[in-house]
Homo-oligomer: A and B are copies of this chain.
C-alpha cells in the first residue's frame, strides 16, 4: 500500500490558508517528498507528517515556490543528527539552479546528499534504498517555462503464491516466505525461482505527481491508469485555458481532461492561484469532464491499496 499526503495546495506564494504545493509519499517504511517550497516543513508538521527521515526529495523544477523550503528542511534534518543519505532528484540544473545555493544556506550536514540530475530512465528504488523492492520512480518531461518533470511512482505486485507448486518442488515451508518476496531458494541441488511458484503478476499501484505543466500528450501517456493523480490546476475558469497554456499551467478542466484521457481512478487538484479564494467554486468545471475529481486541501491524505 501507499500513503499519500498533500502537504500544501498554493501556487507562487505561501498564504495563511494554503501552504505551497508539495506531497509526501510513504510506502514500506520509505518515503518521497515531491517539491519543497517555503513553509513545507511547517505545513508537513501540521499535517502530522515528519519529513526528517525522507529518503528522496523529487523536485519538479527550480522555481522558488517549489524549492525555497529546502535550506530549512535540510538544516532540520541536520539538527536531528540524521545519518542516512538523502537523494535529491530533479531535472537539468539541479546543482547550479538549486542545490549549490541551497547548500550554501544550509551549511554542513550530518548526512550525505546524493544528487540525481536529469535521470533519463526510471529509477528502481531498491538500487538506491536497500529493501525498497518493487518500487520505481519514473520522471517524465512536462511543459513549463523551464526544464521540468513530473513523477510516476509505481509499486509492482508479484503473482499469487501457489502452495501446491512449492510442495511439488519440495520447498520446505520455512522457505516459502523468501519465494513470496521474490527471492530464489535452493532445494537440494536445484535453484527454485519465484516465478516457478507464483501465478501471473497482479496489478500494482501507480501514483502520479504532475508538478507545473501545461496540458500535453506526454502527460496523458505518463498518467495512464494511475490510481491517484495529484495534478496542478492553477486556474479555475474555463476561459483561462489559453492563459494556462501560455504560462505552462492548466485549468481545472484541463487537469480533468488529462485524468479522463489517461483513465486514472482519482484526481486531486492542487497548485491554486492566489486569485482562487475557494477552489470548490470551480470544481464543477472539472467534474463535468472527470467525475472523480477532488479539490485538494492542505493536509489531505489517503491510502492506496492493492486490489482484492
Q: Enumerate chain A interface residues (CB-CB to B < 8 A).
A: 12-16, 19, 37-39, 41-43, 45-46, 64-65, 67-69, 71-72, 75-76, 79, 100-102, 104-107
A39 pairs with B14, CB closer than 8 A = yes
- Known: A68-B71, A68-B72, A101-B104; 8 extra A-B contacts, CB below 8 A, are A13-B42, A13-B76, A14-B39, A16-B42, A16-B46, A64-B71, A64-B107, A101-B102
Give every chain B residue within 8 A of A75 (Cβ-Cβ). Answer: 64, 68
Main secondary structure of the interface of A (DSSP, over half): helix
Whole-angstrom distance from the CB of A44 to the nearest CB of chain B? Answer: 9
Whole-angstrom distance from the CB of A148 to the nearest CB of chain B? Answer: 16
Give every chain B residue within 8 A of A41 (Cβ-Cβ). Answer: 13-14, 38
Whole-angstrom distance from the CB of A119 to the nearest CB of chain B? Answer: 23
Rounded to whole angstroms, the CA-CA distance of A37 and B107 in the bound complex is 15
By beta carbon, the residue of chain B nearest A101 is: B104
By beta carbon, the residue of chain B nearest A72 is: B38
Give every chain B residue within 8 A of A64 (Cβ-Cβ). Answer: 71-72, 75, 105-107
B68 pairs with A105, CB closer than 8 A = yes
Rounded to whole angstroms, the CA-CA distance of A248 and B207 in the bound complex is 47
Rounded to whole angstroms, the CA-CA distance of A16 and B8 in the bound complex is 13
User: Which 5 residue pairs spanning A and B have beta carbons closest together?
Assistant: A101-B104, A16-B46, A14-B42, A38-B72, A101-B101
A-B CB contact pairs (8 Å), 18 listed: A12-B79, A13-B42, A14-B42, A14-B72, A15-B42, A19-B42, A38-B39, A38-B41, A38-B42, A38-B69, A64-B71, A64-B72, A64-B105, A64-B106, A68-B68, A68-B71, A68-B72, A101-B104
